Amino acid sequence: MCGIVGAISNNRNIMPILITGLENLEYRGYDSAGIAYSKDNNVNIIKVTGKISNLKQKISKDVESNIGIGHTRWATHGQANSINAHPHKFKHITIVHNGIIENFIEIKEKLKEKNYQFKTDTDSEVAAALLNYYYEKFNNIEKAIKEFIKNVIGSYAICLMLDDDLENIYTIKKESPLVIGTTDNTNIIASDIRAILKYTNKYYILDDFEYAKVNAKEIIIKSKDGKIINKNLKVFTEKNIDNSKGHYNHYMLKEIMEQKETILNTILPFIEEGIDSLEKLPDLTKYQEIAIVGCGTAYHAGLVAKYLFKEIANTKCNVYIASEYRYQNNFLNKDTLTIFISQSGETADTIAALKLVKNKDCPTLGIINVKNSTMSFLVDKCLYTNVGNEIAVASTKAYTAQVALLSLLVLAQAYRNKSLSKKEVLQIIEEFKNIKTLVNDVLNKKDLYQKLAKDIYKEEDIFYIGRGLDYALAMEGALKLKEISYIHSESYAAGELKHGTISLIKKNTPVISSATNANLNAKTISNLKEVLARGANVYLITDENYKEDNINIINIPKVNIFIKSLLIVIPYQLIAYYIAVLRKTDIDKPKNLAKSVTVE
Ligand code: F6R
């Protein structure tokens, strides 16, 4: 994770570029931050714990420089404090680093034998020390970089300043994204082009094992053996990037409310002309099986799709957590299509799983939000969720867009393999066209969600239960709540509770559920009564007209199975949000988290 930025110019002060870049990268981590810049041929370093706002306060307004590097950190090795914060300086070398140096302990031990002493617990300081060691050995920074690439195991995007050469920034990349933006007499390095769009939309992408020497006038990119690589300059053309909160107090609320537009925006090209539009979706009938891989919320979107593929389209489907998938036998074969779901397109585990499938030459499809992200280049085919920037750490509008796209893939499959008739498919398409009104209806029950939040926000354990599709949704509901409110919340298959977990139910424990499957609802309601009998406070989201004593009902409109999950998740998102408001947490940047998980 973490965000890096570096800038060098011969006609402007680069300090505002560093700060703006870091502010735009804060979504990658925000537990400490720092910058290094040159002043009178000396490298000065400022580091703080906490957010970029703390860093800004520490930098005096009149500091100017033409070369600098900066970092916002999500701690992996060593506590989140100012000592472990980047930049790390080791004698001649100052670096900021994204990624993980996997063999850092071994390298550290070897360097200690050579009397190197370390001040921090980080792998990044070891990277700086190793670069310094090679630099002193060869008296040549490029040789040092090439040796570094040969000997380091792990992932890195590094920006490096060298005391003896403050006319250049050096940058090295493996498995952690890195771009070099270019504008008039100024070049800017960053871990995400969006960090520097205020200054330029023209950029180069570095590939794995490449390094570059960047000064105000030129960018020289080389392969690991030192050969110059001529890269195509890319132009970032995405327009209308709205990074403001509008009139909302939090990005999360804004993004939840945007779902009335974003779901339809994502799926419109595949429904607007009925079946003809649906046919634009990839044909999955040629595969024996569908595998879906993702992390966190993206994995939960995959669970909804699995249910629909199996139950509606009669198609074998399995869903895997990327960090597990990459280390297990997946019996890969060309008859299985593997779908990779990711908002950011940069999640390290999902990328690793994708590379695994690609190395076996098996087919892949991406459902990705961020264009030009690492995964978007790797997959055979990509369907974009097109929800715009999702800034709040807790994913909401990306999840519903992922579910909507996956649902249409299932619908197309059910049409092609005749699990559903043409008439049924057309009816479902018509209902999808009405999604805006349906979503609006559920979003508008704010008072209900706020009341529920008020009833339960002081609790420390909350359970989410459901069966089938409702279980997949319960998992997302519990995740949303725990990540932003810090309340311990768990999801369980409703029928599984009495095999152990019911022992945790006590007076007033909230148990929240949804029941959307006519064949299973009675069973879920029985399970709710079982916890009610043990003192729980019970809430049920449903599209049926149930009236049950002591069960608080939240009604959603009655819709077909493809749309249900898109509506049920909204109360889950808003309940989590309003609880977090009452608990006064940092909703958009919850503790310990980051928007893009670029380490394993
Ligand atoms: C939870 C959340 C995370 C992400 C997960 C995968 O609200 O946002 O669980 O869903 O880190 O991220 P992407 O989708 O970027 O691969």
Distance CA 558, CA 222 (A): 59
Q: Atom 8, ligand 1: which residue's CA is nearest?
A: 395
Tally DSSP H helices, then E strands, for the chain: 19, 24
| Closest C-alpha among 163, 162, 164, 195 to residue 178 | 195
Instruction: Divide the 600 residues of the chain into consecutive groups of 10 and give the mean pLDDT of each group.
Output: 92 95 84 94 94 91 94 83 91 94 94 94 94 97 98 95 97 93 96 91 95 97 96 84 84 97 97 97 98 98 98 98 95 96 94 96 97 90 95 97 98 98 98 97 96 96 96 98 97 93 94 92 93 95 88 94 97 98 95 80
Contact 385 CB / ligand 1 (< 6 Å): no
Catalytic residues: 2, 595
- pLDDT of 356 reads 96
- Where do the domains of the chain lie? 3-235, 244-433, 445-600
| Closest C-alpha among 358, 357, 22, 412 to residue 188 | 22
CATH T-level assignment (fold) for domain 445-600: Rossmann fold (3.40.50)
- pLDDT of 445 reads 95
Contact 125 CB / ligand 1 (< 6 Å): no
Instruction: Give me ligand 1 centre to Cα 343, in Å.
Output: 7
Q: Dihedral through CA 569, CA 566, CA 349, CA 467, nearest 10? A: 60
* Cα angle value 573/481/253 (rounded, 5°): 40
Q: Atom 7, ligand 1: which residue's CA is nearest?
A: 394
> Taking phi first (over 0 means left), then psi (-120 to 50 degrees means alpha), and beta for anything else, what does residue 413 get?
alpha
- pLDDT of 66 reads 96
Q: How many CA atoms lie within 13 A of 560 on its CB side?
A: 20
- pLDDT of 29 reads 75
- pLDDT of 592 reads 85
Pocket mutation for ligand 1, best pick of 74, 295, 341, 371 (most atoms within 8 Å of C-beta): 295
Q: Atom 16, ligand 1: which residue's CA is nearest?
A: 342
Q: What is the atom index within ligand 1 of the atom nearest the CA of 399?
A: 10
283 contacts: CB under 8 Å, gap ≥ 6: 412, 416
- pLDDT of 595 reads 81
Task: Check residue 206 and report its DSSP letter.
Answer: P
The 10 Å Cβ neighbour count of residue 331 is 8
User: Which segments of 195-274 are extended strands (E)?
Assistant: 202-205, 210-214, 219-222, 234-235
**Could you tell me which CATH class the domain 244-433 is placed in?**
alpha beta
Instruction: Give me ligand 1 centre to Cα 341, in Å.
Output: 9
Instruction: Please list the residues that pair with 98 across neighbouring strands.
Output: 157
Query: Distance from first CA to last CA of the chain, Å, rounded?
Result: 9
- pLDDT of 76 reads 79
Does 445-600 match 244-433 at the fold level? yes
Q: Atom 10, ligand 1: which residue's CA is nearest?
A: 297
Where helices occur in 417-558 by DSSP H, the ranges are 422-433, 435-443, 446-456, 469-485, 521-532
Per DSSP bridges, beta strands 364-368 and 336-342 are: parallel
Q: Is 381 helix (H, G, I), strand (E, B) or coil?
A: strand
Does 363 sit behind a cis peptide bond, omega within 30 degrees of 0 on the bond before it? no
Inter-residue contact 146 to 174 (CB < 8 Å): no
Instruction: Give me ligand 1 centre to Cα 14, in Å.
Output: 33
Distance CA 123, CA 105 (A): 8
Q: Atom 3, ligand 1: which residue's CA is nearest?
A: 296
Instruction: Give me ligand 1 centre to Cα 297, in Å.
Output: 5
CATH T-level assignment (fold) for domain 3-235: Glutamine Phosphoribosylpyrophosphate, subunit 1, domain 1 (3.60.20)
| Closest C-alpha among 170, 167, 21, 14 to residue 97 | 170
pTM of the model: 0.88
Residue 338 burial (CB < 10 Å; 0-12/13-18/19+)? buried
261 contacts: CB under 8 Å, gap ≥ 6: 436
230 contacts: CB under 8 Å, gap ≥ 6: none
Instruction: Please list the residues that pair with 94 across neighbouring strands.
Output: 89, 161
Instruction: Give me ligand 1 centre to Cα 38, in Å.
Output: 37
Where helices occur in 46-153 by DSSP H, the ranges are 52-58, 104-113, 123-138, 141-151
